[in-house]
A and B are shown apart, each in its own frame.
Chain A
């Protein structure tokens, strides 16, 4: 649990969401964990109860990937896209689109891995076609998205609510 708490979720401009997290492992291992299906399906699961029966990755420029999540009693949730840039083991750019897209157009996801003294910082960026698309992400609970300035908002909410709590 040493890494818990270094997770950051922020927005950049109107259309981007940026997530960063540091892992206590060298970059080549982290890259494998993000790109080898047998490894991805062990961790990219979301809320409890979901499994990942489909995880196909053809890691080359122009290659596709496809993920499907399943939970008994709930409709399957799938997404996929096409790789636009692949630089092993540091950078991947790919399109991404959920099957039940609640936002218009595609999004572009960038995965960046930077290693420093044996630890790897992962930055995941999602660029949506429009601000409406990004803000629309929040209609579902599990995707890589939150609406405008929510991180800044979350911060001030926490501060503000604490202040209120201490006043009353």
Chain B
């Protein structure tokens, strides 16, 4: 998990993952789109590959990269858990605010506003 996060924390690598979401791609293609030099792109791809985020196959002279969905699904599950925790906090807060609103109304009814 942490390895996935670390691999994706770098903006260029995140962009590579975004490119690969559309489908497998050769390195040269990505070099053009990212505006980076080939060695840089290869370095990023190596990190992504070590994190298990991409697979590579060689087709004639080209190295074609494919996204592996398992670590991304794991990451998504983590994010979902995190969101759920905050959303459950906020739903408790919704209920508390409803109580507070109801109490306020009750108090207003009990004590009609006096002129100052």
A residues contacting B by CB (< 8 A) are: 1-4, 7, 9, 19, 21, 23-25, 29-30, 32-33, 39, 42-48, 131, 135, 138-139, 141-142, 146-150, 152-154, 156-161, 163-164
Contacts and interface: CB of A to CB of B under 8 A. Distances in A.
B93 A146 contact: no
Given A23-B94, A33-B93, A153-B17, 14 more contacts: A25-B97, A39-B96, A39-B100, A43-B93, A45-B89, A46-B85, A47-B85, A131-B9, A135-B6, A148-B9, A148-B10, A160-B67, A160-B72, A163-B21
A29 B104 contact: yes
A29 B82 contact: no
Contacts of B85: 46-47, 141-142
Contact of B79 (A1, A4, A154): A154
Given A161-B69, A161-B73, A138 B2 contact: yes
A142 B87 CA distance: 12
Interface residues of B, number: 39
B97 A147 contact: no
Contact of B94 (A24, A46, A157): A24
Contact of B97 (A29, A138, A139): A29
B112 interface: no
Given A138-B5, A161-B69, A164-B69, A156 B90 contact: no
B14 A153 contact: yes
A147 B5 contact: yes
B89 to A, nearest CB: 6
B96 A157 contact: no
B64 interface: no
Contacts of A2: 94
A141 B72 CA distance: 18
Contacts of A46: 85, 89
